[in-house]
Each structure stands twice: as structure tokens, then as C-alpha cells.
Amino acid sequence: MAEELIITAKDKGGIYAQILPQIEAVVSAETDMIANMANVSAILKEAFGFWWVGFYIVKPTGSSDTSHVEEELVLGPFQGPLACTRIKKGRGVCGTAWAKEETIIVPDVEQFPGHIACSSLSRSEIVVPVFASDGSVMAVLDIDSEHLATFDVTDKEWLERMLHEINFGNK
Ligand code: SME
């Protein structure tokens, strides 16, 4: 396994193209979901210098009512400042991406109704669902930027491809 990331490209698409095989090499050598999410967060943070990169994982709420199991997003491996720990389905950008089962790009977080401000310095964000092999959403990848309009269709396509190619295991 390569111990250091090699990045020579300067443009966004070129950087994604260079890190994708390196991410695949790292995660294919390991089956633990948390270890792989931790390294994916670290690689994206190192490659792009994003403000915050991390995963929220779909988990049971732990409610004592056993008649039906409710789920929520719980903070997983991340790189960056302290973040909120639990997000309900449909809430914020992360909970909306989970509910809609699709990537959401937010060019200006102040214009997104219900955005959850974990950090006042976050200005734009992208959230990409991670699908389990049964087709359900098992986690979301959240990336925040301290600049407006950082993310576009290039990020969406590369991140979706990256997460599709990684087997994080099932819920
Ligand atoms: N802004 C996110 C919450 C997570 S933090 O940004 C790390 C949201 O609205 O879902």
C-alpha cells in the first residue's frame, strides 16, 4: 500500500482522476468500514484542502420502542473541526440527501432551508449518499467548503463514482 498520496494535477478533474486509484488501492486492502471511511476522508482533505470532510452513518436511534426501528445519521470518521453528532432523516443537507437518495450540491448554505450550521465558516457543501448492496442508503459523505460555490457536477460525478466503487460492507 502506498504510504503517501501522489498528486501532480492542478485541476479538479485531474486531481480526482489521480486520487481514485490510490483510494481504491487503500480501501481494497481493508474490509473495515470505519477504517476505510477514515482514509477516504483523509485523502480528500489532503488532496483538496476542504474545510470539513466526513461521513454520517445510518444507525438505529436506540429508542426503547421496539415496535418499529427508527434510524438517524450519526457522525462517523471525519477530518476537520468539531461537528454535530446526530441528524434526522430529512433534516439539513445530509438528512435531505439521505431521504431523497441523491447527491445535493449547495452553492450557498444560507440559501438552503434547514441547513444545519455545524461551523459558521462553512459557506458551500456537497452531500453524496453511500449505497449498501441492497440499494438502501447506509451513510452519506459530507464535504464543506469555507468558500461559496466550491462544488459542481465534476465533484458530483467523481465522488459518486468513487463511492460506488468502494465496498464499505453492509449495514
Ligand atoms: N451542514 C450539514 C451538517 C453537517 S456539518 O456541515 C459537518 C447539514 O446541513 O446537513
**Chain CA centroid to CA 38, Å:** 11
Decide if 139 contacts 49 (C-beta within 8 A).
no
Taking the CA atoms of residue 43, residue 48, residue 50 and residue 52 in that order, the dihedral angle to the nearest 10 degrees is -10
Chain center to CA of 53: 7
Tell the residue number behind the cell numbers 482514509, with chain if given: 39
The residues pairing with 104 across neighbouring beta strands, listed in sequence order, are 127
pTM of the model: 0.94
CB of 93 closer than 6 A to ligand 1? yes
| pLDDT interval class at 2 (50, 70, 90) | low
pLDDT tens string 30-72: 999 999 999 999 999 999 999 999 999 999 997 767 677 799 9
Measured from the CB, is residue 38 less than 6 Å from ligand 1?
no
Tell me how long the chain is. 171
Please identify which residue in the block is written with the cell numbers 444545519: 116
- Ligand 1 pocket: which of 125, 126, 127, 151 to mutate (most atoms within 8 A of CB): 125
Cα-Cα end-to-end distance for the chain: 26
- Whether 83 has a pLDDT exceeding 60, the answer reads yes
- Contact 142 CB / ligand 1 (< 6 Å): yes
Residue with cell 465534476: 154
Query: From the CB of 150, is ligand 1 less than 6 Å away?
Result: no
pLDDT digits (tens, 9 = 90+) for 113-155: 999 998 889 999 999 999 999 999 999 999 999 999 999 999 9
